[in-house]
Structure 1
């Protein structure tokens, strides 16, 4: 007879004489295949090397690095060849006929070379985000990780801040020297002028073009690393928040429930990629969170429920369906919920295989993006607006912006395909950032950012980057409401936490690659905003200079089904000086009802900060 037990939040089933040989409800080793709680990154990387598709990896390298490199290196050769041809015709001019020919050639060059310039520009920034910025960040965080090992356990915040500043400058200087050496080494192979005759032998341009690219990118890295190192060394370092503002400092208050990293699964007994069997099973914890929020809202209304990414575990349709169904059971919460994409929503290629690689041309990533966008439109489409990046102002609502593309998105979701995927390529980039404008000119608004880097590999899914055009659009939204207070919401943490990491993997590849620039861009507006994020499931509230940063714990992850978790309800106030006051939040503890020893807990308590 098949041994049965009720589903719920109970822990592993105790073994009995009549128990099944393998209890399927408790999972098995396959559920831990990609779990960083069970396996080290080195072990996962070893599995990855054994299973990776090498031809696909080579093709991805060609598309992501080789082609942009060739385009960037060819640009000066093509331009100089065209310029030399036009110059020669100018010298040989005689009469109106040749003049007309010259005008035609010049016009062809002007309009024909503009796409080349744009391609070269895109290639430059593609290589910058692929290798240059990550290279500097790797050097900086690696040096910091080594240096912090020599700090005493009780080192003060000031000591850690000085060390962070010193290592940033040292990393910038070191990266600049290495990059300068590479540029000098490849310089003899570079070639910066071309001739029309080169068209007959294009393969001869391959090596000079690549040498040009390596030289340009290395020189850029050398200069940029110095600039970044000095900027990171002189900027305010992250610190724990010393205290909250008093309630008397604000005449208006807003209550915002901050959730993150819910990681909804699509199976009743499903486990999460990251935690495997060391984490929760199914979605019982999510239902507990929403029920608790509904009770809190009924007693004292919330102004917003903010979910800063990773609503799903792998961005699959079944997971989104579970999330939306759970939210639909609480319409009073759904009406004030705001969501933004996390790396698990859009960057997981295969939840069961971290070695799975996705080509840049694959429609799989676009499909995950469209699923996420569809869910965002369903939850908040009529309330949030899209920034018109050409006009530099807040424009139409998300629903209005997507209306012309509804049929195309539905057709792509139904049949997939490269052609339909390419037709939707610009939509994802254009809809971010999303903005919930303040109800009054001096009220509270919310900016929703996409902080996910373009990755095509499950193993590198956690990389974070806010696009430069999104930063400009965010600042345009802030300037449109100069008296308003703002929540800047994103998934990734802008800066590393001011605490020593146990492993190097905890501090590299998870924070924003351009986090320092992100913080510097917000610094002039810091008194009237607070940044809220998730991603690492770390419970931390701090500051970077005047910028307050709130990191959300996960109410689902980091605990098995029978262990408590928590989330916060933050209280924000309108300060008399026009700033945004950050008041002491309520910590809401979630105690699974199946654990009798923990019953009676779960009462909201004040969050305290150690001095």
Structure 2
């Protein structure tokens, strides 16, 4: 029996969210047609409008109150500011860390929404146009100089544009208010809007210029020129590096970004694990590291499929370390990129709880979390989660908001996760969460390393000063030094604060190697002395009958304490030659 349309091959509906089968313009059009405008209004009010009005109106109300207080100051009134100060100090003592985390997240969200897209588009357009005039045999140094000048020029252009808007709106601003203004709220609102625009433009002018200079002066990324040679007797750690498995929960399911242009089901991942276990039996592995996007959309069925596949290979499961990718926690709906999650809803917390539960099952007894007060990583992930086990189960069952805030705090507290070195001068592994919070599938891929998380990582590096460290995250901290064929390939989704992240890591360059996924393609290079290893996806970049690959990396620590990267071992994963999948018309393209 053969149906007219073979359902195993999927159909156009499976390509709805595929960046390989639809242009970004087409997806944007579909998004506008499908988006929930009620949710969009609430999201804009909560995330942009209300904060903007608060920024603009605060100086007016504060100055009016201070003026009134100064004019009628009495001993009784003098108690009022002291009481307010006491309340502020109390709130800071009780919720200070949470407020600082919120402020940092909001700060980088502003960069992600306003500065980074505008700056990156301007920078990459300039670079793309400039590189068109370079010959194919132009030296890498010439390309690096052009990229540096394009970064500085784009920062300057955006800064001047923002400054022009600031000067245009400045005459409408008003920073001193009076209590009588409250009687004319419409007049007050326009002054508040003008204040908000002025503040944002002033920040944009300064930040874009600083961003451009920081980019221009950053050491350029370069391909790694040579791998180290292992000396006889050196301890070598073998790390199988996988990323972006994008497990689906159905035997004929298709992945979000691939649609029908990628493999169906999870057969390739299961074949990969069987192949990897045979390799381990011949030459043992120390770790199977999966740097994010273990699932396609963080659904329960996908995590179940992922864990079931590993359960068939316990010798690999007991060596597996996994960290969260944007598809694990930030995809709101597999089939609808226009879907919005409201921040007050339970869904984003549920995706984090599923991820935490999977990580606890795989590595809970092996990885440690950082005690911020003691500045040590001595408690296992399982011990950290144990006091909250009942709350986690209840929230997953009911989704009631009582645990929501606690869940967010717990999520922040468990990162970084640390696999300590076996000896003081051995190799340790640090797992970071590089995902920025997102409630919108269309903007799910943004990355961020928080100051709090980086500080905790530095505490771990100080706790083991003689160890080498493999630092794993999902997002790439810098764009690759490759010439792009089309402009669309240049607009990537690096860490929002990747420049800051790499600069802060430079003092540890001899002791660390960065590993990541996210881009689905392999690159091994260095930036500012820091070695960076990107993992290809062994699943995403081929159709059912194609061959994919991944790498097993070997690391050693030399006599001077430097962490060295040996020549990697490439492992090919053959496709399914008996596949009956109907493949679509479009070839694959790079994507984030």
Both proteins in one fold, TM over 0.5: yes
Distance 1:71 1:124 in 2: 15
Q: How does 1:129-168 map to 2 (within 5 A)?
A: 129-168=112-151
Question: Quick one: which of 26, 33, 37 aligns to 1:54?
Answer: 37
Matched, 1:102 2:78: yes
- Structure 2 counterpart SS, 1:424: helix
Counterpart residue number, 1:361: 344
Matched, 1:315 2:298: yes
- Structure 2 counterpart SS, 1:396: strand
Change (3 A) 1:187 1:536: same
Stretch deviating more after TM superposition (270-279 or 81-90): 81-90
Distance 2:231 2:61 in 1: 66
Distance 2:204 2:215 in 1: 15
Counterpart residue number, 1:14: none
Deviations 1:562-585 (A, max 9, x none): 211111000000121111001101
1:68, 1:126 within 8 Å by CA — same for their partners in 2?
A: no
Distance 2:263 2:22 in 1: 17
Distance 1:125 1:311 in 2: 26
Question: Quick one: which of 432, 450, 454 aligns to 1:467?
Answer: 450
* Cα drift, residue 421 of structure 1: 2.9
Question: Quick one: which of 53, 61, 76 aligns to 1:70?
Answer: 53
Matched, 1:269 2:245: no
Counterpart residue number, 1:439: 422
Counterpart residue number, 2:407: 424
* Cα drift, residue 459 of structure 1: 1.6
Distance 1:132 1:189 in 2: 24
Change (3 A) 1:42 1:104: closer
Change (3 A) 1:121 1:255: closer
Stretch deviating more after TM superposition (122-131 or 578-587): 122-131
1:41, 1:505 within 8 Å by CA — same for their partners in 2?
A: no
- Structure 1 counterpart SS, 2:260: strand
1:460, 1:509 within 8 Å by CA — same for their partners in 2?
A: no
The alignment yields a C-alpha RMSD, in angstroms, of 2.4
Change (3 A) 1:48 1:125: closer
Distance 2:243 2:504 in 1: 24
- The alignment's TM-score, normalised by the length of structure 2, stands at 0.91
Distance 1:150 1:357 in 2: 42
Q: How does 1:313-462 map to 2 (within 5 A)?
A: 313-389=296-372, 392-394=375-377, 396-462=379-445
- The alignment's TM-score, normalised by the length of structure 1, stands at 0.88
Deviations 1:350-398 (A, max 9, x none): 1111222222223222211111111111111122222234554435322
How many pairs align? 572
Stretch deviating more after TM superposition (191-200 or 159-168): 191-200
Gaps of 5+ in 1: 4-18, 597-611
* Cα drift, residue 38 of structure 1: 1.6
- Structure 1 counterpart SS, 2:379: strand
* Cα drift, residue 494 of structure 1: 0.9
- Structure 2 counterpart SS, 1:573: strand
* Cα drift, residue 102 of structure 1: 1.3
Distance 2:190 2:376 in 1: 45
Deviations 1:456-493 (A, max 9, x none): 22222222222232222222322222221111111111
Distance 1:47 1:72 in 2: 34
Distance 1:410 1:291 in 2: 33
Counterpart residue number, 1:543: 526
Change (3 A) 1:23 1:177: same
Change (3 A) 1:264 1:528: same
Matched, 1:504 2:480: no
Change (3 A) 1:249 1:170: farther
Counterpart residue number, 1:246: 229
Q: How does 1:104-253 map to 2 (within 5 A)?
A: 104-112=80-88, 121=103, 124-198=107-181, 204-248=187-231, 251-253=234-236
Change (3 A) 1:145 1:466: farther
Counterpart residue number, 1:15: none
1:89, 1:102 within 8 Å by CA — same for their partners in 2?
A: no
1:264, 1:311 within 8 Å by CA — same for their partners in 2?
A: yes
* Cα drift, residue 533 of structure 1: 0.6
Distance 2:26 2:558 in 1: 51
* Cα drift, residue 141 of structure 1: 2.8
* Cα drift, residue 546 of structure 1: 0.6
Counterpart residue number, 1:515: 498
Matched, 1:34 2:11: no
- Structure 2 counterpart SS, 1:588: strand
- Structure 1 counterpart SS, 2:531: strand
Change (3 A) 1:124 1:207: farther
Distance 2:403 2:488 in 1: 37
Counterpart residue number, 2:548: 565
1:82, 1:109 within 8 Å by CA — same for their partners in 2?
A: no
Distance 1:479 1:507 in 2: 37
- Structure 1 counterpart SS, 2:542: coil
Change (3 A) 1:209 1:29: same
Question: Quick one: which of 281, 284, 297 aligns to 2:264?
Answer: 281
- Structure 2 counterpart SS, 1:257: strand
